[in-house]
């Protein structure tokens, strides 16, 4: 299958081992692995970062073979799962970074084009997550221009300055506004 926004046709990917039992050399118990996962999640790490941490620092190659469930399911069971799916979060973060770059470099045509591609991926992924009920049906990705428009029309408080915020704070405000409109 080809790539979405490039000409590449690469299909390279890692191959999981056929054997689904934990390796014989691994002596870590399932409860210890779950404890490590919850501890890392409380520090604010995403599921993929937790998997890398377990693999590199603790020598746990595959969490599912040890515990019987994946990292995200363990996080959901403990109530520590991220509010929005991880891949969508990082795409939104990338779009916010590109918009911040475009504020300083207005004539950067390539960045404008890449922003369009990233935002189309965000909309496509959001549509999928709404269909699979991982996002609420009223969830909407809002760009900073739309947030500013809502601010001037009375949607957000006037003292809120979106331009001076860091990308993470901007994301929190966008989600806060979006979920506030649901109530």
Output the domain CATH number for residue 135. 1.10.287.10
Q: What is the number of structural domains in the chain?
A: 2
Q: State which residues form the domain around 66.
A: 30-77
The yes-or-no verdict on residue 10 having pLDDT over 60 is yes
What is the overall mean pLDDT for the chain? 83
Centre a 10 Å sphere on the Cβ of residue 10 and count the other Cβ atoms it contains. Answer: 9
pLDDT the model gives residue 3 = 79
Per-residue pLDDT reduced to its tens digit, 81-96: 999 999 999 999 999 9
pLDDT the model gives residue 168 = 60
Per-residue pLDDT reduced to its tens digit, 134-150: 999 999 988 756 555 55
pTM over the 0.95 mark: no
Cα–Cα distances in angstroms (integers) from residue 1 to residues 7, 121, 126, 177, in the given order? 11, 17, 21, 38
Based on the fold, state whether residues 73 and 90 are members of the same structural domain: no
Specify the range with the lowest mean pLDDT, choosing from 37-46, 99-108, 114-123, 153-162.
Answer: 153-162
Based on the fold, state whether residues 90 and 173 are members of the same structural domain: yes
Residue 46 within a domain: yes
pLDDT the model gives residue 8 = 86
Based on the fold, state whether residues 100 and 162 are members of the same structural domain: yes
């Amino acid at each position: 299958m080809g790539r979405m926004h490039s000409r590449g046709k690469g299909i390279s990917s890692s191959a999981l081992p056929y054997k689904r039992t934990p390796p014989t050399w691994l002596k870590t118990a399932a409860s210890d692995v779950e404890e490590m996962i919850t501890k890392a999640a409380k520090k604010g790490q995403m599921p993929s970062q937790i998997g890398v941490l377990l693999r590199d620092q603790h020598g746990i190659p595959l969490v599912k073979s040890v515990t019987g469930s994946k990292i995200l399911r363990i996080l959901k069971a403990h109530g520590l799962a991220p509010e929005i799916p991880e891949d969508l979060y990082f795409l939104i973060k990338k779009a916010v970074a590109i918009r911040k770059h475009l504020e300083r470099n207005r004539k950067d045509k390539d960045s404008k084009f890449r922003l369009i591609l990233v935002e189309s991926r965000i909309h496509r992924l959001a549509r999928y997550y709404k269909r699979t009920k991982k996002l609420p049906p009223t969830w909407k990705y809002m760009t900073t221009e739309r947030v500013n428009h809502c601010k001037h029309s009375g949607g957000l408080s006037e003292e809120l300055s979106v331009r001076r915020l860091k990308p993470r704070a901007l994301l929190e405000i966008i989600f806060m506004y979006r979920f506030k409109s649901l109530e």
